[in-house]
Structures are given as C-alpha cells and as structure tokens.
Homo-oligomer: A and B are copies of this chain.
Amino acid sequence: MHMQRIRVVKEALDANNTIARANRDDFDRSGVAVINLMSAPGAGKTTLLERTLARLEEWGTSTPAPRVGIIEGDVQGSLDSQRLAEFHVPVVQINTDAGFGGECHLDANMVRSAIPSLPLATIDLLVIENVGNLVCPAEFRVGEDHRVMITSVTEGEDKPLKYPLMFRACELVVINKIDLLPHLEVDLNRLLSNIDCVHPGVRCMLVSARTGEGLDTWCEWLWSRVRQQAILA
C-alpha cells in the first residue's frame, strides 16, 4: 500500500512537470522573465513586492522600467492582491482552497489556469508569490525561470537545516527584516553559514523591506533577470 502511494505521488509530479514546461514555453514566447517567490508565512514577500513596485514607479519617471505582472497565491482571500493592485500592475489571484482542495502550495496547473488572465504581451517580469510555506512549494515547478526564497531573521538561524529542500531549490536567498537584528538573539553569520552548508555558494542578499536597505541590490538583480530573458528571446 505504501509503494502504491509513492507511485501516485510520482505520477502527480510528472504531470506537474509537463504542465510547468507548457507554462514556461508560453512565458518564453512572450519574452517574460518569471520568478517563483517563496517563503514561510509572514517573511515579507508582499511587503518586498510593494517596495519593489514603488521603486519601479520612481525609476519609470526617468528611464524605461520593466513592466511587472503578479500572480498571487493564497489559501484564501485576496488581501495581498489588493495591496499590490494599488501599484497599477496586473495582479491575478489564485486561491488554493477553491477547486484545488486547500493546497499548501501552488502547482503548475493552478498557474496555468491564471495565464489567460495575464497580459503576457505587455509585461516583462512576472512574479509568482507562492503560498507561505517552507516545505511543499519547493517540490512543484510552476514554469518559472528563477526560484527565490525569503527567510526572515526573526525565524532564527536554524531554518536552512530544518527545511533544506527549500534552501537548495532556490538560486537566491533574500534575508529580510535585517533592521530587527539589534533586537534579536540571532547570529547572522551562523544563518549565512547554515545556508551555505545546505546550498554551497548560493547567493544571499541582506534586505530590510521596511527600511529599504538592500532594496537597490534586489531590484538590480530582478532587472538583470529581465535583461537576460530579453537577450535569450
């Protein structure tokens, strides 16, 4: 019985990869760079995106700035979508409790269902904000080019060792809420060393979405992904 269960999961993952590939082809045809943004609940995904979109509006007044679209994944509700729609970018909400059985992650099929609602021809960068969870989102490709995670310093130094798959699945680890470090008993060097232990050499970026520290570096990284996609297209 246990073997059968493993087989079913394997088939589900294979179907997911097939659909993820189809999503990726659609994004590639439109020249859209796609980021799958993951973290634990409350690590600051939406706040970082708010600051990113605000910075983009500033840049847009002087130079052409990338046009952003958002897919927002939540079990229930559309609070984050409402926050991001304030920035006049296209936002599509996926609720995983409606028709998907209350899933704790986005999968490729859910993202596929959102694609028709996205103006792919008029955006350069699509950010998919996953459901807040450090386990399952890392197991499901959704058609992204890049996987990024946020870990907040308030979560402690041990998270890479306890949720290694998530830290290994991502090419960039954004370490958020660094403005709180003076008020915590968290050893930043130990956190960095634990990340490097489970994913040697992975890029880490220190950010405070609240104060704006590190925001330029993060935005530059995003824009370079957009330029890379434009060259490949």
Q: How long is the Cα–Cα vector from A74 to B160 in the complex, in angstroms?
A: 12
Q: How far is the CB of A90 from chain B (nearest CB, A)?
A: 21
Q: How long is the Cα–Cα vector from A143 to B60 in the complex, in angstroms?
A: 56
Q: How long is the Cα–Cα vector from A136 to B179 in the complex, in angstroms?
A: 31
Chain B residues with CB below 8 A from A103, complex form: 135
Q: How far is the CB of A8 from chain B (nearest CB, A)?
A: 8
Chain B residues with CB below 8 A from A154, complex form: 42, 152, 154, 177, 180
Chain B residues with CB below 8 A from A185, complex form: 210
What does the 1/0 interface line of A90-121 toward B look like (CB < 8 Å)?
00000000000111100000000000000000
Considering only residues 187-233 of chain A, those with a C-beta below 8 Å from chain B are: 210
Chain B residues with CB below 8 A from A41, complex form: 40, 134, 155, 159, 162-163
Tell me if A79 counts as interface (CB < 8 A to partner B): yes
> Of the candidates B6, B102, B155, B183, which one forms a contact with A165 in the assembled complex, judged by CB atoms under 8 Å apart?
B102
Instruction: Evaluate contact between A136 and B180: CB separation under 8 angstroms.
Output: no
Considering only residues 36-86 of chain A, those with a C-beta below 8 Å from chain B are: 40-42, 74-77, 79-80
Q: How long is the Cα–Cα vector from A228 to B186 in the complex, in angstroms?
A: 38
Identify the closest chain B residue to A138 (Cβ).
B102
Instruction: Evaluate contact between A135 and B40: CB separation under 8 angstroms.
Output: no
Q: How long is the Cα–Cα vector from A34 to B79 in the complex, in angstroms?
A: 35
Tell me if A131 counts as interface (CB < 8 A to partner B): yes
> Of the candidates B5, B40, B101, which one forms a contact with A6 in the assembled complex, judged by CB atoms under 8 Å apart?
B101
Q: How long is the Cα–Cα vector from A74 to B179 in the complex, in angstroms?
A: 29
Interface residues of A (CB under 8 A from B): 5-6, 9, 40-42, 74-77, 79-80, 101-104, 131-136, 139, 152, 154-156, 158-159, 161-165, 177, 179-180, 183-185, 210
